């Protein structure tokens, strides 16, 4: 309860909601709480009792959280904790520091009861300093791609696993052990001491990656007469390169419909994938398409999805309302979505550059996809325009509006536009720009993008 502006000995069966309180809330040093606490204002010190559990959601400003002995803390921090979090002896904590949130310091508790426990920290914001407790076991999940940063010092006899890469984590000389967890493309993982640079280099060269979860970029069949054969190849390459920048260290797979392209094309795609440092998979049927999504292999002989879920999915291809015209001899229909395993996805961010995938509202392919994956899906209502993925509108006008006499002149004297000539030269070896398209497809006439979220 509250008395004279203070919280007095509370065991919360329901959440303490501080959003309507005015001023700065002060807790005396002997005040102890447990249960569910929600802070929407300014709180000086939150003391959590010994031998208890507390779930804290901070949307405002706090100075300090002190966790008692043998207690557990679950913290969702969306605001600021300006002084820090102190974990008591044999205490455990799961700390989720969200985007744009801030924590000054986190001091882990010493483990004296012989058990393997400690802290799990998932950081999407800024944490100035983390010191792990003696003999503790901890996991640090620093989400590099959103610019998260923290400094880590390990306590005596501790073991700390860094499970989301090197970038954003500064490691100070500590008395304990810290390892990077690298994931095998075949499933499983290996933990490598942060000082063992040679082993890290060997594993990375062998295709191991820092970030758990797979990104899939899919290229369907082009097939339509009069269109550029490699529309869905050049744009996929651009997307792969952008993912490598935004999601460094994460596994990327380029999935291509096999039946749409020649043997030479497939060999060229393999060479391009190797240069990009990504895995390539060719699918030749609806069964193989579904199998790869569900298991991570086209023949379902090996299932890696339990440790390598799909985090991002982008598709370039043809589409009609309620279906993807992905293969040269097969479509992926809205009814086929029920054949996909929702457990293969992890709140997946999906983008479909196919026509009409977003057409139909709640009955659209995109909505059904979001319902199954549990993530956010961006898709086009009506037609997608691939006409300017490489040429600008002005360059297209030069190409399309030539008179016959102009065509003859250009044939003799060369292209009038240096950029057009450069593109043609770039495509001369393989038929496509190995560096990828210059831009992504855009909305066709009267078309627009629509974002779908799961309704299940």
The residues spanned by each domain of the chain are: 2-175, 211-388+433-453, 392-421
Among residues 335, 331, 308, which one has the least CA distance to residue 318?
331
Per-residue pLDDT of the chain (456 residues; tens, 9 = 90+): 444 444 444 444 444 544 444 444 445 555 677 788 888 888 888 888 899 999 999 999 999 999 999 999 999 999 999 999 999 999 999 999 998 999 999 999 999 999 999 999 999 899 999 999 999 999 998 876 566 889 999 999 999 999 876 678 899 888 999 999 988 877 788 999 999 999 988 998 887 888 778 999 999 999 877 789 999 999 999 999 999 988 877 889 999 999 989 999 999 999 999 999 899 999 999 999 999 999 999 998 888 888 789 999 999 999 999 999 999 999 999 999 999 999 999 889 999 999 999 999 999 999 999 999 999 999 999 999 998 898 777 777 766 665 555 566 666 666 666 777 788 899 999 999 999 999 999 999 999 999 999 997
**Distance between CA atoms of residues 144 and 104, nearest Å:** 19
Q: Is beta strand 442-443 parallel, antiparallel or unpaired with respect to 332-333?
A: unpaired
**Distance between CA atoms of residues 327 and 132, nearest Å:** 52
Q: Which fold has domain 211-388+433-453?
A: Rossmann fold (3.40.50)
Kindly report the length of the chain: 456
Among residues 307, 318, 400, which one has the least CA distance to residue 356?
318
Q: Supply the pLDDT for residue 146.
A: 61
What are φ and ψ of residue 27, in 5° steps?
-110, 135
**Distance between CA atoms of residues 160 and 335, nearest Å:** 45
What are φ and ψ of residue 283, in 5° steps?
-115, 145
**Distance between CA atoms of residues 320 and 317, nearest Å:** 10
What residues contact residue 88 under an 8 Å CB cut-off, 6+ apart? 50, 66, 67, 68, 69, 70, 71, 109
Among residues 91, 100, 83, 25, which one has the least CA distance to residue 52?
91
What residues contact residue 122 under an 8 Å CB cut-off, 6+ apart? 95, 96, 97, 141, 143
What is this structure's pTM?
A: 0.69
What are φ and ψ of residue 311, in 5° steps?
-100, -30
- For residues 153 and 172, is the Cβ–Cβ distance under 8 A? yes
Q: Supply the pLDDT for residue 408.
A: 62
Give the CA distances from residue 206 to residues 67, 144, 287, in Å, rounded to whole numbers and listed in that order: 43, 22, 29
- For the beta carbon of residue 433, count every other beta carbon within 10 angstroms: 22
Q: Supply the pLDDT for residue 359.
A: 98
Among residues 57, 53, 65, 51, which one has the least CA distance to residue 18?
57
Q: Supply the pLDDT for residue 135.
A: 96
Question: Tokens representing 286?
Answer: 């609806």
What is the distance between the terminal CA atoms of the chain, rounded to a whole angstrom? 38
- For the beta carbon of residue 8, count every other beta carbon within 10 angstroms: 14
What are φ and ψ of residue 117, in 5° steps?
-155, 170
SS3 39: strand
Q: Supply the pLDDT for residue 154.
A: 94
């Amino acid at each position: 309860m509250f008395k004279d502006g203070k919280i007095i000995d509370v065991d919360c069966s329901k959440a303490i909601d501080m959003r309507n309180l005015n001023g700065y809330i002060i807790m005396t040093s002997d005040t102890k709480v447990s249960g569910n606490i929600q802070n929407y204002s300014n709180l000086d010190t939150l003391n959590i009792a010994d031998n208890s559990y507390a779930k804290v959601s901070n949307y405002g400003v706090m100075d300090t959280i002190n966790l008692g002995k043998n207690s557990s803390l679950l913290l969702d921090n969306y605001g600021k904790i300006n002084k820090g979090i102190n974990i008591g002896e044999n205490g455990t904590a799961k700390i989720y520091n969200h985007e744009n949130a801030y924590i000054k310091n986190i001091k882990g508790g010493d483990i004296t009861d012989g058990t393997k426990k400690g802290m799990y920290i998932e950081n999407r914001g800024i944490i100035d300093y983390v010191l792990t407790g003696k003999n503790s076991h901890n996991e640090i999940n620093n989400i590099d791609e959103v610019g998260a940063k923290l400094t880590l010092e390990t306590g005596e006899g501790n073991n700390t696993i860094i499970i989301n890469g090197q970038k954003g984590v500064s490691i100070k000389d500590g008395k304990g052990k810290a390892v990077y967890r690298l994931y095998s493309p075949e499933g499983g993982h290996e933990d490598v001491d942060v000082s063992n640079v040679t082993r890290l280099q060997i594993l990375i060269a062998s295709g191991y990656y820092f970030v758990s979860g797979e990104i899939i970029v899919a290229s369907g069949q082009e097939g339509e007469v009069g269109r550029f054969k490699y529309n869905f190849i050049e744009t996929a390459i651009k997307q792969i390169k952008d993912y490598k920048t935004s999601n460094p260290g994460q596994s990327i797979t380029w999935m291509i419909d096999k039946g749409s392209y020649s043997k030479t094309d497939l060999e060229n795609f393999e060479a391009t994938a190797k240069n990009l440092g990504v895995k390539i998979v060719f699918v030749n049927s609806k069964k193989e398409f579904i199998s790869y999504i569900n298991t991570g292999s086209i023949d379902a002989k090996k299932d890696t999805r339990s440790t390598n879920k799909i985090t991002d999915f982008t598709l370039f291809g043809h589409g009609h309302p309620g279906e993807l015209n992905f293969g040269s001899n097969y479509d992926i229909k809205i009814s086929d979505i029920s054949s996909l395993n929702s457990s293969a996805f992890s709140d997946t961010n999906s983008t479909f550059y196919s026509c009409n995938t977003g057409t139909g509202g709640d009955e659209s392919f995109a909505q059904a996809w979001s319902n199954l994956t549990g993530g956010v899906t961006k898709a086009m209502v009506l037609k997608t325009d691939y006409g300017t993925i490489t040429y600008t509108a002005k360059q297209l006008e030069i190409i399309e509006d030539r008179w016959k006499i102009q065509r003859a002149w250009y044939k003799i004297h060369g292209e009038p536009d240096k950029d057009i000539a450069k593109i043609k030269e770039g495509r001369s070896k393989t038929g496509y720009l190995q560096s990828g398209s210059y831009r992504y497809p855009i909305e066709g006439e009267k078309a627009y993008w629509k974002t779908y979220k799961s309704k299940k």
